[in-house]
């Protein structure tokens, strides 16, 4: 059966489960063994070989979700990303990173790659010319993230894939922010897709996991590296992740709807000076986002006006939680200046358009009227405190 022909929610619910042959139960039985009798001479089952029954089944669901041949599940997003990078890069190679990438990946680049003799550069923007400018003779990988954190810029998937293919370079994407519900980069020619499954895939703020998804040939190479580094996910959590993925479609679609409504509400708010969301027609890359995304996602960012300080605003919120994490059922906000981008110099942040009044907003599934009421009361309280001060 060609799973790519099935609808996304059908894949989420049914694809890649372990059949309960003994009792015909509705859910996958959990196999916790670290030791399996040899079935065939060279087919050893072992958690760190990424081939236990639960890992093997869930990998099928993940591959189907990204329209790919194979997937592997890791203990964290960073375990997935580091394993994938070190699979396709070796001493003497060069990698081009998009300017705005996840902080942990940035740290991996600047603190680890040199040890392996791998050189890197960051683009100064996210246009095709920005990537082209950084390519060297020994460039082996182009690494992108779209929509980006925290300004939700959009990188042209097809454009980057075409540029890389013309020079024999492999393309990798961190697709965490979009989730497979909103974006399937392999359809646009991107080679390797990675997710922090801690975010939309887990969705309930109780799982730390990661995923690498690609062609059979690429995954064969990832496998060789992965079994040496040993970053597999415990089967207990694999089982829990399967349960989470069943509702990913309906969760993310609700988060998309909330983000779109919230973006419009904030646009019209007199104490908000800018809103960054690819679903807004005013977003500079709205047309590009529309052409490569199935939904605009549950993440947005906005800038508060001069009368409302970010930290005061956070203190007054009652329902929406100030938090580092994102993509859960609960709405969360964070200030990139003091969290994800705190280690950058103010000048470097300014160059990327990240200022002190910027708020990153991860929309949950709460009712819009309650989210709006919370923001309204928080802004009013901050402003009234200033009047009385």
Ligand X SMILES: *Cc1c(COP(=O)(O)O)cnc(C)c1O
Judged by beta carbon, residue 326 or residue 382, the one nearer ligand X is: 326
- 80: burial class by Cβ within 10 Å (0-12, 13-18, 19+)? buried
| CB closest to ligand X, residue no | 77
Q: How far is the CB of 123 from ligand X (least distance, A)?
A: 17
> Which residues are 195's β-sheet partners?
211
Q: How far is the CB of 11 from ligand X (least distance, A)?
A: 22
Stretch near ligand X under the rule CB under 6 A, chosen from 46-54, 194-202, 242-250, 341-349: 194-202
Interaction between residue 258 and ligand X (CB under 6 A): no
Select which of 174, 191, 235, 285 is catalytic: 174
Interaction between residue 185 and ligand X (CB under 6 A): no
Interaction between residue 176 and ligand X (CB under 6 A): yes
Q: Which of 3, 9, 76, 234 binds ligand X (CB under 6 A)?
A: 76
Interaction between residue 204 and ligand X (CB under 6 A): no
Select which of 6, 36, 46, 48 is catalytic: 48
Q: How far is the CB of 3 from ligand X (least distance, A)?
A: 25
Number of residues that bind ligand X (CB under 6 A): 13
Judged by beta carbon, residue 259 or residue 375, the one nearer ligand X is: 259
The reply to whether 285 belongs to the active site is: no
For residue 275, give every residue at least 6 positions away whose Cβ sits within 8 Å of its Cβ, in sequence order, or none.
263, 266, 267, 282, 300, 301, 302, 303
Judged by beta carbon, residue 28 or residue 362, the one nearer ligand X is: 362
The reply to whether 60 belongs to the active site is: no
Select which of 102, 120, 223, 277 is catalytic: 102
Interaction between residue 143 and ligand X (CB under 6 A): no
Q: Are strands 321-322 and 119-122 parallel, antiparallel or unpaired?
A: unpaired
Judged by beta carbon, residue 208 or residue 267, the one nearer ligand X is: 208
Q: Which of 196, 292, 331, 332 binds ligand X (CB under 6 A)?
A: 196
Euclidean distance between CA atoms 73 and 233, whole angstroms: 6
Interaction between residue 251 and ligand X (CB under 6 A): no
Interaction between residue 361 and ligand X (CB under 6 A): no
The reply to whether 90 belongs to the active site is: no
Interaction between residue 199 and ligand X (CB under 6 A): yes
Q: Which of 210, 279, 295, 297 binds ligand X (CB under 6 A)?
A: 210
Select which of 61, 140, 199, 349 is catalytic: 199
Q: Which of 50, 88, 102, 277 binds ligand X (CB under 6 A)?
A: 102
The reply to whether 20 belongs to the active site is: no
- Which residues have a catalytic role annotated? 48, 102, 174, 199
Binding residues for ligand X (CB under 6 A)? 76-78, 102, 104, 174, 176-177, 196, 198-199, 208, 210
């Amino acid at each position: 059966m060609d799973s790519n022909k099935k609808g996304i929610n059908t894949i989420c619910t049914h694809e890649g489960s372990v059949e309960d042959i003994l009792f015909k139960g509705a859910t996958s039985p959990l196999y916790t063994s670290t030791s399996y009798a040899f079935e065939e001479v060279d087919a050893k089952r072992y958690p760190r070989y990424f081939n236990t029954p639960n890992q093997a089944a869930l990998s099928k669901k993940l591959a189907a979700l990204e329209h790919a041949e194979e997937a592997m599940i890791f203990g964290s997003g960073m375990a997935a990303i580091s394993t994938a990078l070190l699979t396709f890069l070796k001493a003497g190679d060069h990698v081009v990173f998009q300017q705005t990438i996840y902080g942990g990946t940035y740290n991996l680049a600047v603190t680890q790659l040199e040890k392996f003799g791998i050189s890197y550069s960051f683009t100064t923007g996210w246009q095709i010319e920005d990537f082209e400018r950084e390519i060297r003779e020994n460039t082996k990988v182009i690494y992108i993230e779209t929509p980006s954190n925290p300004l939700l810029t959009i990188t042209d998937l097809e454009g980057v894939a075409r540029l890389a293919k013309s020079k024999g370079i492999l393309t990798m994407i961190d697709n965490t922010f979009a989730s497979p519900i909103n974006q399937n980069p392999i359809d646009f020619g991107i080679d390797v897709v990675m997710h922090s499954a801690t975010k939309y895939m887990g969705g309930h703020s109780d799982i730390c996991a990661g995923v690498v998804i690609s062609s059979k040939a690429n995954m064969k190479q990832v496998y060789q590296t992965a079994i040496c580094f040993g970053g597999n996910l415990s089967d207990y959590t694999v089982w829990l992740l399967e349960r989470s993925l069943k509702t990913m479609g309906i969760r993310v679609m609700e988060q998309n709807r909330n983000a779109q409504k919230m973006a419009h509400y904030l646009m019209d708010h007199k104490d908000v000076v800018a809103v960054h969301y690819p679903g807004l027609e005013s977003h500079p890359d709205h047309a590009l986002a529309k052409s490569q995304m199935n939904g605009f996602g549950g993440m947005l960012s906005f800038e508060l006006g001069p009368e409302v300080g970010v930290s005061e605003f956070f203190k007054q919120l009652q329902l929406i939680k100030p938090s580092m994490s994102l993509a859960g059922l609960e709405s969360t906000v964070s200030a990139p200046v003091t969290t994800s981008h705190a280690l950058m110099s103010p000048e470097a942040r300014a160059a990327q358009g990240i200022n002190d009044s910027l708020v990153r907003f991860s929309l949950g599934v709460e009712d819009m009227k309650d989210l709006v009421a919370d923001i309204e009361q928080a802004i009013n309280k901050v402003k009234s405190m200033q009047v009385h001060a």
